[in-house]
A and B are shown apart, each in its own frame.
Chain A
Amino acid sequence: MLSQITIFLDVISPWALLLYFFIKIKKARRRDYIFWFILFQTIINTVSIVYDQYLILNNLYLYHLNCAVSFFILTIYFSSILNFQQSSNILYGLLVIFGIFFFVNIIKWENLESFNSNSYSVASFLIVVYSFLYYLENLLRPATIDIAKSKNFWYVTGLFTYYAGSFYIFLTFKKLTFLNIENLRLVWLTHNVLFLILCIFLARGIICQLLQEKYNL
Chain B
Amino acid sequence: MSTLTGEIQFVIAITLLILTFTSFVIIFVFIHQRHYHQYLRNIEDVKNKNQQELLKVQLEMQEQTFRSISQEIHDNIGQILSLVRLHISSIQTEENSASARKVTASKELLDQAIQDLRDLSKRLNTGFVQQQSLAESLRFQLNLIQRTELYETTFAVHGDERPLDAEKKLILFRIAQEALNNIIKHAGAKLISVLLMYLPNEIILSIKDDGQGFDMAALHNPEEPRKGIGTNNMHYRANLIGAAFSLQSKPGEGTLAQLKLPTE
A interface residues with partner B (beta carbon < 8 Å)? 132, 135, 138-139, 142, 146-148, 157, 160-161, 164-169, 172, 176, 179, 181-184, 186-187, 190, 194
Contact = CB atoms under 8 A, between A and B. Distances in A.
Given A176-B7, A190-B12, A161 B19 contact: yes
B22 A176 contact: no
B97 to A, nearest CB: 80
Contacts of B29: 135, 138-139, 147
B11 A172 contact: yes
Interface in B18-35: 18-19, 21-22, 25-26, 29-30, 32-34
Contacts of B5: 181, 183
B18 A165 contact: yes
The 7 closest A-B pairs by CB, nearest first: A147-B33, A168-B14, A164-B22, A142-B36, A165-B19, A135-B29, A181-B4
Contacts of B34: 146
A135 B27 CA distance: 11
B217 interface: no
Contacts of B30: 147-148
B232 to A, nearest CB: 23
Given A164-B18, A176-B7, A146 B37 contact: yes
Given A161-B19, A181-B5, 12 more contacts: A139-B32, A147-B33, A160-B26, A161-B22, A165-B22, A169-B11, A179-B4, A182-B1, A184-B8, A190-B11, A190-B15, A194-B19
A182 B22 CA distance: 30
B24 to A, nearest CB: 11
B4 A168 contact: no
A157 B26 CA distance: 7
Nearest to A185: B8
